[in-house]
């Protein structure tokens, strides 16, 4: 890793891509919420928080209505000054976002907010995602094998996120741990 993988001339390198507004997911959630609260009278029903909806919520707060800059499960550099300036002018938005005891569907993703602020400020340092995300729970038979082969065969992979390994099939958990140990051993000795 090099500094230019994180910051170029003091501005963060943004890893992601532009995506269309998640219309179908938003519409589906609106219908589910209506059915649960109105028809089934579930007063305490809450929509499940969603990583991409949180990103959409952030972009939408900044005026995006048709698209948003979507990021994946990789590390994200942030210019703290950009966020500080924004929240100094929008303190009610910050207070509302941090008021929830647990993650909430209505919250916005702070990283996404920071990225979209950078884009509005003409940050042109955009990179490919350069990462692999492995979620080995309830996947098809060859999922873990394919993901590990992708990591092995692609020299441009800089980041790896493995989520919920403790809930994976024992065979998949073992394969991932053996592979990780081989990398650690190779890199340190």
Identify the segments of the chain with pLDDT beneath 50: 189
- What is the domain extent for residue 40? 3-127
91 and 143 fall within a common domain: no
pLDDT in tens, 45-55: 999 999 999 99
Q: Specify whether 106 is located in the same domain as 177.
A: no
78-107: per-residue pLDDT in tens?
Answer: 999 999 999 999 999 999 999 999 999 999
Same domain? For 122 and 52 the reply is yes
Asked if 72 contacts 15 with a C-beta cutoff of 8 angstroms, the reply is yes
* Nearby residues of 35 by Cβ (< 8 Å), 6 or more positions away: none
In the chain, the number of structural domains is: 2
Give me 123's structure tokens. 């940050």
Residue that is last in its domain, among 96, 127, 158? 127
Do 69 and 117 share a domain, yes or no?
yes
Residue that finishes a domain, picked among 80, 104, 127: 127
Do 38 and 117 fall within a single domain?
yes
Q: Report pTM.
A: 0.83
3-state secondary structure (DSSP) of residue 6: coil
Are 37 and 121 part of one and the same domain? yes
Q: Which of 87, 111, 127 is the last residue of a domain?
A: 127
Residues 88 and 140 in one domain: no
């Amino acid at each position: 890793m090099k500094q230019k993988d994180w910051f170029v001339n003091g501005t963060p390198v943004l890893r992601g891509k532009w995506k269309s507004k998640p219309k179908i997911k938003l519409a589906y959630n609106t219908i589910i919420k209506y059915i649960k609260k109105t028809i089934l009278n579930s007063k305490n029903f809450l929509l499940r928080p969603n990583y991409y909806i949180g990103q959409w919520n952030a972009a939408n707060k900044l005026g995006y209505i048709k698209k948003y800059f979507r990021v994946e499960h990789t590390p994200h550099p942030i210019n703290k000054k950009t966020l500080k300036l924004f929240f100094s002018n929008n303190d009610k938005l910050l207070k509302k976002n941090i008021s929830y005891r647990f993650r909430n569907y209505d919250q916005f993703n702070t990283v996404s907010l920071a990225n979209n602020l950078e884009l509005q400020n003409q940050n042109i340092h955009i990179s490919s995602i350069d990462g692999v995300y492995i979620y080995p729970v309830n996947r098809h038979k060859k999922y873990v094998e394919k993901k590990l082969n992708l990591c092995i065969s692609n020299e441009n992979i800089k980041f790896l996120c493995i989520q919920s390994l403790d809930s994976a099939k024992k065979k998949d958990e073992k394969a991932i741990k053996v592979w990780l140990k081989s990398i650690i051993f190779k890199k340190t000795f």
